[in-house]
Amino acid sequence: MTTRYSFGGDEHLFVECSEEMSLEAFFKSLSMAKGVRESGIKGVTEICPANASFQIKFDPDIIHPDDVLKEVKAIEGAAAKAEPVLKTRIVEIPVFYNDPWTHETLMRFRERHQDPTGTDLDYGARINGYGSVDDFVGAHSGSPWFVSMVGFVAGLPFMYQMVERQRQIQVPKYLRPRTDTPRLTVGHGGCFGCIYSVRGAGGYQMFGITPMPIFDPTQTTSYLRDFMVFFRPGDIVKFKPIDRDAYDQAVEDVDKGLFAPPIREVTFDLREYQKDIDGTNAKLEGVLHGH
Amino acid sequence: MAIKVLHHGLATTVQDLGRPGYFHLGIPVGGAMDRYAMRAANLLVGNDEGAAGLEAVFIGPKLEFTEDALVAVTGADMPAKVDGVAQPGWTAFEVKAGQTLTFDFLKSGARICIAVSGGIDVPEALGSRSTYPIGALGGFNGRPLAAGDELPVGSGSLASEGKSVPEAMRRKPGMPAELRVLPGLYWHRVTEQSQENFFADEWKVANEADRMGYRFKGGRKLDFVEREQPFGAGSDPSNIVDSCYPYGSIQVPGGTEPIILHRDAVSGGGYFMVGTVISADMDLIGQLQPHTPTRFVKVTMEEALAARGDRRAALTRLREALA
């Protein structure tokens, strides 16, 4: 992994930890971004972690761009030596796969899709070598995901599944982006999953919908009163397939302020994960369910 | 004190100098597209530069005032009228209770900033009154204005009526417009020939030009340096593993039409970028109309910093002129 630095105009420094996506590259970017934040470089105003890169915004009236570069490069060495251990949280997100709302939307935009004869789930299952949509949903919800970036629009998580590369689900984006996507659609593009935090345009394949709001500018949702955005980079997500009745119940609970997503604190060690992926994931799930 | 919206124009939003600090969560800085114009408008009516005003694009709103106020309109050349009487641009004028502020057709530029003494007093959201419509955040109920809205206005003074920004200090894009660009980010992804073409060609602003981004057409398609696409990037040569997007960064999906991200930018995505418009020229972009011929001018970091220094000096002169 060679780190590449480039300026985005006179106010941004872009740091690419790796050209290709991997959990190692994500960890490096998260660890460097953390290092930059903790070093409190004068004039640095924002630090945005992404999947395998991160971006720093600075005020060149306060610090010369070359000095930002020098300070961040110095942090790279220390970040490489840091223990790849992350104290984070795991959260269970219910998903109603193959729901009527994303289905209606995907039918409406069928002419923009690679395979107009089926659904996005049919397509995803087929090109990833799964015999059935059920098997595909089983893989999607079977292993947890890292929130590797929050952004695009307010509060939208990009997620990278915690499985070997050959088991990563990969799908192209729509041939032409849709002008509409239901709020809280669970989508997938490239190797990344996402949850659309708001209704709007989108190009990711649509697999289902969650009843759990993840962005609330009114801050009235019970678990979003402290802050309007739910996700943070480094969160771990486990999807739980639910049916229509459970979905309706969850929506009602959200409205009544009774919905509480299961969340547990966890410590994730990349080395342990690399040695035994399924074992590490099983342990994480154990923590989620209170064993 | 309130302002009644009789007509919303095309897209009129409450804006100030933005909401920095939340881009890592996908919430862009927002705020006036033309910061210099918004600062000037506020200074003209005796407000803090960061007070909230209105930004209207292409067509002005129709506003009825319930109390006397001092108003200034800056940015694009779109003459204001009070009960049908024309008012000078970049100049503070009085609007009396019961009078109506309307606007003539746009003559040049794209966006006006309307400042009212006391400022538009909507509640702050994450430290700013700017409207972020996609997130339904800030501004007036998180959305552009609509007929029937009543905008709260803070208390101001009428002291500075007649104050005016000297003609030479009113900044406008040239013709063709020139935007200075620092190449970088994924600049190495396109061939040397395409790198030359990008700066040699004349581009035109496309119809898809808004607060999120400005699209350009008419230049030659960019060719990519061949490579095997990295894992997770997607199959198109213009795809990258989704990264952050700087404000002002220029992405070129498919290598065909450059898009400059602006104040309401999406914070990241999977398209490569050729470089970034320098901070000194960001204000100009918001004043470009569709079809405006535009040249991208290659600069170095030192030139970008010198240009930034020039803008800072210009702002100091503006403050002195209106003090």
Q: Is B271 an 8 Å CB contact of chain A?
A: no
Tens digits of per-residue pLDDT, B273-319? 999 999 999 999 999 999 999 999 999 999 999 999 999 999 999 99
Chain B neighbors of A67, CB-CB under 8 A = none
Q: Which domain holds residue A63?
A: 4-82
Q: Is B226 an 8 Å CB contact of chain A?
A: no
Degrees (nearest 5) of the Cα angle B212, B117, B56?
25
Quick one: A275 and A164 in the same domain? yes
Chain A neighbors of B242, CB-CB under 8 A = 50-51, 149, 158, 190, 192
Q: Is B261 an 8 Å CB contact of chain A?
A: no
Note which residues in 179-218 of chain B have CB less than 8 A from chain A: 182, 184-185, 187
Check A46 against B242: CB less than 8 A apart: no
Check A14 against B185: CB less than 8 A apart: yes
Given A82, A117, A135, the domain boundary residue is A82
Check A9 against B243: CB less than 8 A apart: no
Chain A residue with minimum CA distance to B270: A190
What percentage of residues in chain B have a pLDDT greater than 90? 95
Chain A neighbors of B187, CB-CB under 8 A = 6
CB atoms within 10 A of CB A130: 18
| Cβ–Cβ < 8 Å for B206, B257 | yes
Quick one: A13 and A131 in the same domain? no
Quick one: A78 and A147 in the same domain? no
Check B242 against A229: CB less than 8 A apart: no
Relative orientation angle of helices B35-44 and B301-322, to the nearest 10 degrees: 10
Note which residues in 140-179 of chain B have CB less than 8 A from chain A: 142
Q: What is the pLDDT of residue A81?
A: 83
Quick one: A93 and A62 in the same domain? no
* Mean pLDDT within B29-45: 98
Our CA-based measurement puts residue B68 at a distance from the nearest CA of chain A, in whole angstroms, of: 33
Mutate: best of B19, B179, B188, B242, partner A, most A CBs <10 A: B242
Tens digits of per-residue pLDDT, B197-218? 999 999 999 999 999 999 999 9
Quick one: A77 and A153 in the same domain? no
- The CATH number covering residue A223 comes to 2.40.100.10
Chain B neighbors of A54, CB-CB under 8 A = 244
- The CATH number covering residue A46 comes to 3.30.1360.40
Quick one: A76 and A145 in the same domain? no
Quick one: A114 and A31 in the same domain? no
Query: How many structural domains comprise chain A?
Result: 2
Q: CATH 2.40.100.10 in chain B: give the residue spans.
A: 177-313
Tens digits of per-residue pLDDT, B145-175? 999 999 999 998 777 788 999 999 999 988 8
Mutate: best of A13, A21, A45, A48, partner B, most B CBs <10 A: A48
Distances (CA, A) of B28 to A30, A36, A268, B21, B76: 21, 21, 30, 8, 24
Chain A residue with minimum CA distance to B185: A6
Our CA-based measurement puts residue B63 at a distance from the nearest CA of chain A, in whole angstroms, of: 28
Which stretch of DSSP H or E encloses residue B283? helix B282-285
- Rounded Cα–Cα distance for residues A187 and A269 (Å): 27
Our CA-based measurement puts residue A291 at a distance from the nearest CA of chain B, in whole angstroms, of: 32
The per-residue pLDDT string of chain A (291 residues; one tens digit each, 9 = 90 and over) reads: 889 999 999 999 999 999 999 999 999 999 999 999 999 999 999 999 999 999 999 999 999 999 999 999 999 988 878 889 999 999 999 999 999 999 999 999 999 999 999 999 999 999 999 999 999 999 999 999 999 999 999 999 999 999 999 999 999 989 888 999 999 999 999 999 999 999 998 999 999 999 999 999 999 999 999 999 999 999 999 999 999 999 999 999 999 999 999 999 999 999 999 999 999 999 999 999 986
Name the nearest CA neighbour of A211 among A97, A290, A104: A97
Check B24 against A173: CB less than 8 A apart: no
Q: What is the pLDDT of residue A175?
A: 87
Quick one: A32 and A120 in the same domain? no
Our CA-based measurement puts residue B305 at a distance from the nearest CA of chain A, in whole angstroms, of: 7
- The one-character DSSP state at B237 is T
Chain A neighbors of B259, CB-CB under 8 A = none
Our CA-based measurement puts residue B16 at a distance from the nearest CA of chain A, in whole angstroms, of: 18
What CATH fold (topology level) applies to the domain B177-313?
Cyclophilin (2.40.100)
Q: What is the pLDDT of residue B174?
A: 87
Is pLDDT of B85 > 90? yes
Check B249 against A217: CB less than 8 A apart: no
Our CA-based measurement puts residue B323 at a distance from the nearest CA of chain A, in whole angstroms, of: 23
Check B230 against A215: CB less than 8 A apart: no
Tens digits of per-residue pLDDT, A156-192? 999 999 999 999 999 998 988 899 999 999 999 999 9
* Mean pLDDT within B43-50: 96
Chain A neighbors of B184, CB-CB under 8 A = 6-9, 14
Q: What is the pLDDT of residue B161?
A: 80
Note which residues in 298-317 of chain B have CB less than 8 A from chain A: 301, 304-305, 308, 312
Q: What is the pLDDT of residue A33?
A: 95
Q: Is B134 an 8 Å CB contact of chain A?
A: yes
Q: What is the pLDDT of residue A291?
A: 66
Quick one: A33 and A113 in the same domain? no
Quick one: A25 and A106 in the same domain? no
Quick one: A50 and A194 in the same domain? no
Rounded to two decimals, the ipTM of the complex is 0.96
Tens digits of per-residue pLDDT, B276-289? 999 999 999 999 99
**Could you write out the DSSP letters of every residue in chain A?**
---EEEEETTTEEEEES-SS--HHHHHHHHHHHHHHHHHT-TTEEEEEE-SSEEEEEE-TTTS-HHHHHHHHHHHHHHHHHS--EEEEEEEEEEEEET-HHHHHHHHHTGGGSS-TTS-HHHHHHHHTT-SSHHHHHHHHHHS-EEEEEE-SSTTPEEEEESS-GGG---BPPPSS-BS---TTEEEEEBTEEEE-SSSS-B-SEEEEE-SS--B-TT--SGGGSS-SB---TT-EEEEEE--HHHHHHHHHHHHHT-----EEEEEEEHHHHHH-HHHHHHHHHHHHTT-
- Rounded Cα–Cα distance for residues B81 and B100 (Å): 8
Quick one: A29 and A112 in the same domain? no
Q: Is B323 an 8 Å CB contact of chain A?
A: no
Tens digits of per-residue pLDDT, B66-77? 999 999 999 999
Cis peptide leading into B176, omega within 30 of 0?
yes
